[in-house]
Amino acid sequence: MGLITEGKPLPWEQAKKYADHIRDHGINQFLSIYNKTKDREKDCLLWGDEIEYMIITYDDEAKNVKLSLRALDILNELQKEEEEASRKGEEIDASWQPEFAAYMIEGIPSNPYGNTLKSLLRVEQNMKLRKKIVSKHLCPNESIISIPNFPRLGCPGQFLVPQHELFGPKLKSLFLPDEAMNPHIKFGAMNDAIKDRRGSKVAVNIPIFHDKKSPNLFLECEDALPDHIYMDSLAFGAGCCCLQTTIQACNIGEARKLYDQLAVLSPIMMALTAATPIWRGYLSDMDSRWLALVESTDDRTKEERGLEPLKNDRFVINKPRFDSIAYYIADDKTFKTEYNDQNTVYDQNIYKRLIDNGVDELLARHMSYLFIRDPLFVVEDSLDQDDESSSDHFENIQTTNWQTVRFKPPPPNSDIGWRVEFRCMEAQITDFENAAFVAFIILLTRIIVSYDLNFYIPISKVDENMITAYKRDALNTEKFWFRKNIFANYDGAEDKFEQMTINEIINGDGKEFPGLIVIMFHYLESISIDIETRYHLGNYLEFICMRASGKIQTTATWIRNFVRSHPNYNHDSMVSQEINYDLIKMLEKIQKGEVKVPELL
């Protein structure tokens, strides 16, 4: 969830007085990086993925599955192994990072993948290897899984090992103990800052799925909405697992183009990877984790949310920190000013300062939008930095703007280039699925660059698509705004967009719109590629073709159907302890390839 910083953080009431200092020096640091690297060219394509995993433990006698809070112990052992291998000069296959929840671990390849399509074949094997490495440190009753959320997190009874008392001084949650949060000081400070800055606990409300006997949910507090599953902690969003990929572009211009084009695809990919139909033991009417992330990280005050007149705050901010992008940034011939149609607030003083220092209007507006936020983690001993050699103040703001896509400048004085991080996909059950979606995104960037594709639609339509993508079975039942002519045309060709199904966007409409997969196959046919690589990439793309067409189910639909067809399900939207046990057992068997599920794979 952003920059991991060491040191003792200040409480929000003390930290907020340093917000201007951190913003001011953060912009200094960005300008230093920008001026040193804006003309840099010919960085090669490098890329990587990251997956967040959950550690679970089974109680077979009680037919219960729980989350294990041993992730930090396991992480320490993994990092020791990594350090020892590095000291000996041995090859390291994976690297490990802490995540917000005490039951989560983040795994990434130890080195980025290269610029050949053959490197795409390494992804699935590395993902398998990561699970194998972690498994060496698990107890006999423990396992590692890659699904977005734990279905019964926050339910009454036993869902953690060890179990702890609710309503602790940190989370103050009706449903979760403080021990569910990673004890690293950064995560506690972030939780405190969001809650204290907002002036209240966060409020997450996910609409319930109405089955034949679904109950009217008890309103636990004034923040709970009728017929919604209410949650009251950052952990319900930040405790979710996702699938992300980061791509290094050849220069800043290519990175800006990819940022814009991938932002348009974010809702499409979210619906394609939908895997989160259950919250707090209830079937919901949504299939994605995204709304929980948006609402659980919303640190805006009542004034900033427009609920009270501005008095103490500077802006009314129409988007939380975790949301779709606010502005396109590419200085591209296909871009039109009217695409940035949301008029999202930005800091005029920072904007002017960036313009005065040679940053163009589009990039200046993007950065000055990010920097309307306050830092969430302030360490007094780290306030004074050399802005020519450090980027910590910049990253403090940058990495706590959790958008669907992140535009990433190079670290100071490094050989790393301008990058784009694609952040919205849901973790899938199997390594094959996760690898397929990573490969799809990398191939998508190649056809965007090679064919100069143009996906631009107004930002307001992207936001509308995001809301559509949350919905139950959006893949098969909803339509999304998309551009009719995606081949860039600089001669005033029709600038039209319409609502399409995801099947039409991915596989084509059989008439005018070709479909992204078709373009990818044309791309693969146009370049020199060996038979093995062509075969494996073809398998990945065929899987995505079938998922987009509805011939195979999303993870969310499969989970929903499993629950509703379980012999102990009472058609009341409730996922009991035993149903959850059987579900997770089955998901693990699918993950390991022990059962065949043609409706899913």
Q: Strands 402-403 and 322-323: what pairing?
A: parallel
Q: How far is it, in rounded angstroms, from Cα 151 to Cα 51?
A: 19
CB 424: neighbour CB atoms within 10 A?
Answer: 27
For the record, the structure tokens of 430 come out as 């199997």
Residue 91's pLDDT band, with cuts at 50, 70 and 90, is: confident
Segment 414-462, tens digit of pLDDT:
999 999 999 999 999 999 999 999 999 999 999 999 999 999 999 999 9
Residue 271 scores a pLDDT above 70: yes
Q: Are 121 and 536 in contact (CB under 8 A)?
A: yes
Q: What pLDDT, on the 0 to 100 scale, is given for residue 177?
A: 96
Segment 541-571, tens digit of pLDDT:
999 999 999 999 999 999 999 999 999 999 9
Residue type, 270: M
Segment 321-341, tens digit of pLDDT:
999 999 999 988 888 899 999
Place of tokens 């949910």: 217
Segment 169-206, tens digit of pLDDT:
999 999 999 999 999 998 999 999 999 999 999 999 99
* Cα atoms in the 13 Å half-sphere on the side-chain side of 451: 22
Residue 501's pLDDT band, with cuts at 50, 70 and 90, is: very high
Give percent of the chain with pLDDT exceeding 70. Answer: 98
DSSP per position, 300-350: --TTTTTSS-SSSSS---SS-SEES-S------TT--GGG--S-----HHH
DSSP state of 216: P
Q: Are 273 and 245 in contact (CB under 8 A)?
A: no
Q: How far is it, in rounded angstroms, from Cα 17 to Cα 600?
A: 52
Q: What pLDDT, on the 0 to 100 scale, is given for residue 4?
A: 54
Q: Are 570 and 278 in contact (CB under 8 A)?
A: no
Average pLDDT over residues 514-528: 95
Can you give the pTM of this predicted structure? 0.96
Q: What pLDDT, on the 0 to 100 scale, is given for residue 18?
A: 97
DSSP state of 8: P
DSSP state of 411: P
Residue 493 scores a pLDDT above 80: no
